[in-house]
Amino acid sequence: MRLHLLLLLELCGAGPTAAALSFSLRGNWSICNGNGSLELPGAVPGCVHSALFQQGLIQDSYYRFNDLNYRWVSLDNWTYSKEFKIPFEISKWQKVNLVLEGVDTVSKILFNKVTIGETDNMFNRYEQCSFSWDWGPSFPTQGIWKDVRIEAYNICHLNYFTFSPIYDKSAQEWNLEIESTFDVVSSKPVDGQVIIAIPKLETQQTYNIELQPGKRIVELFVNISKNITVETWWPHGHGNQTGYNMTVLFELDGGLNIEKSAKVYFRTVELIEEPIKGSPGLSFYFKINGFPIFLKGSNWIPPDSFQDRVTSKLLQLLLQSVVDANMNTLRVWGGGIYEQDEFYELCDELGIMVWQDFMFACALYPTDQDFLDSVRAEVSYQIKRLKSHPSIIIWSGNNENEAALMMNWYHINFTDRPTYIKDYVTLYVKNIRELVLAGDKSRPFITSSPTNGAETVAEGWVSQNPYSNYFGDVHFYDYISDCWNWKVFPKARFASEYGYQSWPSFSTLEKVSSTEDWSFNSKFSLHRQHHADGNKQMLHQAGLHFKLPQSTDPLRTFKDTIYLTQVMQAQCVKTETEFYLRSRSEIVDQQGHTMGALYWQLNDIWQAPSWASLEYGGKWKMLHYFAQNFFAPLLPVGFENENIFYIYGVSDLHSDYTMTLTVRVHTWHSLEPVCSRVTEHFVMKAGEAVCLYEEPVSELLRRCGNCTRESCVVSFYLSADHELLSPTNYHFLSSLKEAMGLCKAQITAIISQQGDIFVFDLETSAVAPFVWLDVGSIPGRFSDNGFLMTEKTQTILFYPWEPTSKSELEQSFHVTSLTDIY
């Protein structure tokens, strides 16, 4: 792609009225393909695909097989051109810069037909997942995807401004390190002063500075009086996200005033790797403000192939859905992009911790000097841009490249491995790590994910087994073993990737497909599945515990199959996540002390089967509703071992609480429990997972009216003074395809409105597993969904994301349970 700028010679004659001017070049541009046969207007920021679509020259790129049909767009060369008048006299300014915040990706930039620059790095790297992944399409976009402008200034210009709060443990006080980078174009030194004010912390400090000509860095150190109470930033579910408004005013020679405003958050983060009694290896967990935090969440990918479609509204919706599901962490995966500023600002405000990968994933990278220079520029820029965000708690050098190298994913000749290891260390240790340690002292760095952490360092930066359960983090996927069997999961220190696929809802697929596509084995369904054997694996896993749809109506079978894949995914990830949650406080067979569970993946990039819990556009899958429950601050977790039924209590609370556990047993054919047991009061310790209840399954069945595994189901919850403290959880005593007494449930709903919220009063004729409420394409979410309905009535709320009416909901509403497909 070539970027072509044309400048008219007529210049406005007005002289400068300020020390700096900025002239935006956003808006309409002209776009032309390589041979000149196609010319069209296009918006900047934007990309060629979006321009072609807006002009009606192509369909929606996500419709049916258009990812194949429109490959010609990426294979062509494109020129962006704009003719404009600069509204000021250039000669009056000491320096005039053309600033392009983001060009995608390989380009030549011409100004008045004179080449003034070239680009080959989208991140300051190719957006790797643009070329497809096992959850996304191939759309290597081209265009000016971020802001473009002309800047003019005299005397000096502030290029970068960043800061880091640092806590001095010995002095027990907060300090603020502020770094400002200037381009001084004056031929003489520029003197002045800097006034830093944080009013709510009663802090105002003044510094004298002298800027010599050239590129200059000003480093300032602000001390916050220990007599002032500083409220710290906490992750969601652990406290408030308190921030303080700060202004920094540079008063310089020549009447030049430069003012910056920012929100400052104070928090500490530590990655704890220390010996554990009863287990070889080291721990791997995070302390925020000195408090151990279990990281609960998912992995973030770009929410669209076309960055100009990633709006503020979409980011807000997706990230609000993160905290609404009781998550506190997202891992920004290393095969996508460094997200826009607003993403990190929202994470700061919402209390979402960010595990930030650098953009290297599943590949062996070169280490020639040109490439290293490009990487160093990229990494330095991103550190400066992002380090002031409290939400970012760790830098990670890459995604899975240590594992790829040491597990020999790419079939490297054994004699060549030392060369590849040397290149790996050169890139991630001697360059990226070096830059992080020099540029950011406020958070830890690891070279890869998964990694063995300190053990990886001790083994020369690559471990013989990067998937060890005794160190660091692990990625784990197993689509063949029975996901209801918790013994197949690794009792690791930290699970940063794991998951199962499902299909998105029919209402989401319908928008990008036609009637001939609506079957599980259609050409469309096979094409949309980018994970090898993914569709078969879903049906295999579902078939272990559920009867597969058998309707004679092909469309009904397709919809039922979609539903069943979501049931399977939700139940599998629930089982695995609960295993990690209950492993936090124990060592069993020398393994345990798990302190993180980040399932793959949070969101979708298009409408297709994937591991996501949020569909393209933000609709909640069943898994996301399950996450809202299994990531709750207080949760009872049930499981079996050697025919003994256990219930653990898992607490993310900061205080101990006195409570009771209620255990109920229902038969599948009755809405009345056959037995119920309430424990004595006990104290649930803060931040722990402990066994609360155990009973042989045979005894449980005997005392509950001669239940059998196939005829009964167990539910349980935590409460205090008759007030529910936890979600109601459940445990299946057998596969549901073997359930006895399960009959078709007739479920009705009466919908009413209370302000902006809609109330669904449900009534069922029978016990119904995996009750799924759906309102089609109406955007919004329910208070709960995919639930086990064991009582005759239940009230569920619907929170619309856009204005809607009761009549629209009634027309779109549909309810499904597992009994509908049996």
Express each pLDDT in 467-509 by its tens digit: 999 999 999 999 999 999 999 999 999 999 999 999 999 999 9
Nearest to 716 by CA among 699, 732, 735, 740: 732
525 and 599 both lie in a single domain: yes
For residue 366, pLDDT beyond 50: yes
Residue 456 identity (one-letter amino acid): T
Is 400 an active-site residue?
A: yes
Which of 88, 123, 153 terminates a domain? The answer is: 153
753 and 733 both lie in a single domain: no
**Per-residue pLDDT band at 168 (split at 50, 70, 90):** very high
The terminus-to-terminus CA distance of the chain in angstroms comes to: 55
**Per-residue pLDDT band at 103 (split at 50, 70, 90):** confident
Task: Say how far apart CA 646 and CA 639 lie, in whole Å.
Answer: 5
* Contact present, 610 and 501 (Cβ < 8 Å): yes
* Predicted local distance difference test score (pLDDT) of residue 90: 86
625 and 648 both lie in a single domain: no
For residue 6, pLDDT beyond 80: no
pTM of the model: 0.95
For residue 126, pLDDT beyond 50: no
611 and 656 both lie in a single domain: no
pLDDT digits (tens, 9 = 90+) for 197-255: 999 999 999 999 999 999 999 999 999 999 999 999 999 999 999 999 999 999 999 89
Instruction: For residue 119, give the CATH number of its domain.
Output: 2.60.120.260
Adjacent-strand bridge partners of 658: 683
Adjacent-strand bridge partners of 152: 21, 96
pLDDT digits (tens, 9 = 90+) for 291-318: 999 999 999 999 999 999 999 999 999 9
Q: Which residues make Cβ contacts (< 8 Å) with residue 487, sequence separation at least 6?
A: none
* Predicted local distance difference test score (pLDDT) of residue 18: 60
Instruction: Look at the chain and report how many structural domains it folds into.
Output: 5
* Predicted local distance difference test score (pLDDT) of residue 124: 53
pLDDT digits (tens, 9 = 90+) for 423-473: 999 999 999 999 999 999 999 999 999 999 999 999 999 999 999 999 999
For residue 145, pLDDT beyond 60: yes
15 and 98 both lie in a single domain: yes
Adjacent-strand bridge partners of 223: 175
**Per-residue pLDDT band at 14 (split at 50, 70, 90):** very low
Which of 265, 280, 314 terminates a domain? The answer is: 265
Mean of the pLDDT values across residues 23-39? 94
Task: Say how far apart CA 539 and CA 548 lie, in whole Å.
Answer: 8
**Per-residue pLDDT band at 101 (split at 50, 70, 90):** confident
299 and 402 both lie in a single domain: yes
Task: Say how far apart CA 729 and CA 790 lie, in whole Å.
Answer: 12
Instruction: For residue 329, give the CATH number of its domain.
Output: 3.20.20.80
412 and 525 both lie in a single domain: yes
pLDDT digits (tens, 9 = 90+) for 521-537: 999 999 999 999 999 99
* Predicted local distance difference test score (pLDDT) of residue 32: 95
* Predicted local distance difference test score (pLDDT) of residue 105: 76
Catalytic, out of 339, 378, 497, 576: 497
Catalytic, out of 378, 400, 402, 578: 400
589 and 520 both lie in a single domain: yes
Structural domain boundaries, residue 618: 295-631
* Predicted local distance difference test score (pLDDT) of residue 3: 42
Q: How far is CA 375 from CA 66, 108, 265, 401, in A?
A: 33, 19, 29, 16
**Per-residue pLDDT band at 781 (split at 50, 70, 90):** very high
409 and 529 both lie in a single domain: yes
* Predicted local distance difference test score (pLDDT) of residue 797: 98
Residue with tokens 């360059």: 431
* Predicted local distance difference test score (pLDDT) of residue 326: 98
562 and 677 both lie in a single domain: no
In a domain, 183, yes or no: yes
530 and 479 both lie in a single domain: yes
424 and 535 both lie in a single domain: yes
